[in-house]
Amino acid sequence: MTIVLGIESSCDETGIGIVRIESDGALTLLADEVASSVDQHARFGGVVPEVASRAHLEALVPSVTRAFEAAALELSDVDAIAVTCGPGLAGALLVGVSAAKAYAAALNVPLYGANHLPGHVAADTLEHGPLPSPCLALLVSGGHTQLLRVDDLATKITEVGSTIDDAAGEAYDKVARILGLPYPGGPPIDKAARRGNPDAIRFPRGLTGPRDAKYDFSFSGLKTAVARWVEAREGQEIPVDDVAASFQEAVADVLTAKAVRAATELGIDTMVVSGGVAANSRLSTLAAARCAEAGITLRVPRPRLCTDNGAMIAALGAHLVKAQVRPSSLDLSANPGLPVGTVTV
In this structure, the answer to whether residues 244 and 269 fall within a common structural domain is yes
Does 46 belong to an annotated binding site? no
On the question of pLDDT at 177 being above 90, the answer is: yes
Q: Please check whether residues 143 and 279 belong to one and the same domain.
A: yes
Amino acid at 214: K
Q: How confident is the model at residue 170 (pLDDT cuts 50, 70, 90)?
A: very high
**Cβ density class 38-67: b for 16+ within 10 Å, e for less:** eeebeeeeebbeebbbbbbbebbeebbebb
Q: Residue 165, Cβ neighbours under 10 Å: how many?
A: 17
3-class secondary-structure state, position 209:
coil
Q: What is the CB neighbour count within 10 angstroms for residue 35? A: 18
For residue 45, what pLDDT is reported? 84
173 annotated ligand-binding residue: yes
Q: Same domain for 278 and 219?
A: yes
Mean residue pLDDT of the chain comes to: 96
Both 141 and 225 in a single domain? Answer: yes
| Distance (Å, whole) CA 331 – CA 251 | 41
> Residues 293-323: pLDDT tens digits?
999 999 999 999 999 999 999 999 999 999 9
**What pLDDT is stored for residue 1 in this prediction?**
81
What does the pLDDT read at residue 209?
92
Please tell me the predicted confidence (pLDDT) of residue 43.
84
152 in any annotated domain: yes
Quick one: 201 and 113 in the same domain?
A: no
Name residue 31's beta-bridge partners. 18
Q: Judge if 183 and 230 occupy the same domain.
A: yes
- Confirm or deny that 139 is annotated as ligand binding: yes
**Is 344 within the bounds of a domain?**
no
User: Is 333 annotated as contributing to ligand binding?
Assistant: no
CA angle, residues 325, 329, 330, in degrees to nearest 5: 140
**Amino acid 138: pLDDT:** 98
Judge whether 142 is annotated as a binding position.
yes
Quick one: 148 and 281 in the same domain? yes
Q: 331 a known binding residue?
A: no
Q: Is 79 annotated as a binding residue?
A: no
Counting the structural domains of the chain, the total is 2
CB neighbours of 341 closer than 8 A, spacing ≥ 6? 157, 158, 159
| pLDDT tens profile 224-271 | 999 999 999 999 999 999 999 999 999 999 999 999 999 999 999 999
Domain encompassing residue 119? 2-124+305-322
- For residues 180 and 99, state if they share a domain: no
| 278-299 tens-digit pLDDT | 989 999 999 999 999 999 999 9
CATH of the domain at 191: 3.30.420.40
- Known binding residue 273? Answer is no
Q: Give the pLDDT score at 273.
A: 97
Task: Please check if 12 is assigned to a binding site.
Answer: no
Mean predicted confidence (pLDDT) in 51-80 = 98
172 and 296 belong to one structural domain: yes
- Asked if residue 315 belongs to a domain, the reply is yes
Are 156 and 291 in the same domain?
yes
Within-domain flag for 6: yes
Per-residue pLDDT, 222: 97
Report the predicted TM-score, pTM, of the whole model to 2 decimal places: 0.95
Taking a C-beta distance cutoff of 8 angstroms, is the pair 312, 305 a contact? yes
- For 238-270, letters b (16+ CB in 10 Å) and e give eebbbbbbbbbbbbbbbbbebbbbbbeeeebbb
Number of alpha helices (DSSP H) and beta strands (DSSP E) in the chain:
12, 10
| pLDDT over 90 (residue 46) | no
- One domain for residues 287 and 156: yes
Strands 13-21 and 2-8, bridge-based pairing:
antiparallel
* 115 annotated as a binding-site residue: no
71 Cβ neighbours under 8 A, 6+ residues apart:
18, 30, 31
Question: In this predicted model, which residue has the larger pLDDT, 170 or 142?
Answer: 170
Same domain for 69 and 163, yes or no, is no
Residue 331 lies in a domain: no
Angle between helices 240-266 and 186-193 in degrees, nearest 10: 100
* pLDDT single digits (tens) 182-199: 999 999 999 999 999 999
Q: Answer yes or no: is 262 within a domain.
A: yes
Question: Does residue 337 lie in a domain region?
Answer: no
Does residue 42 surpass a pLDDT of 90?
no
SS (H, E, C) 161-191: EEECCCCHHHHHHHHHHHCCCCCCCHHHHHH
Burial of 83 (0-12, 13-18, 19+ CB in 10 A): buried
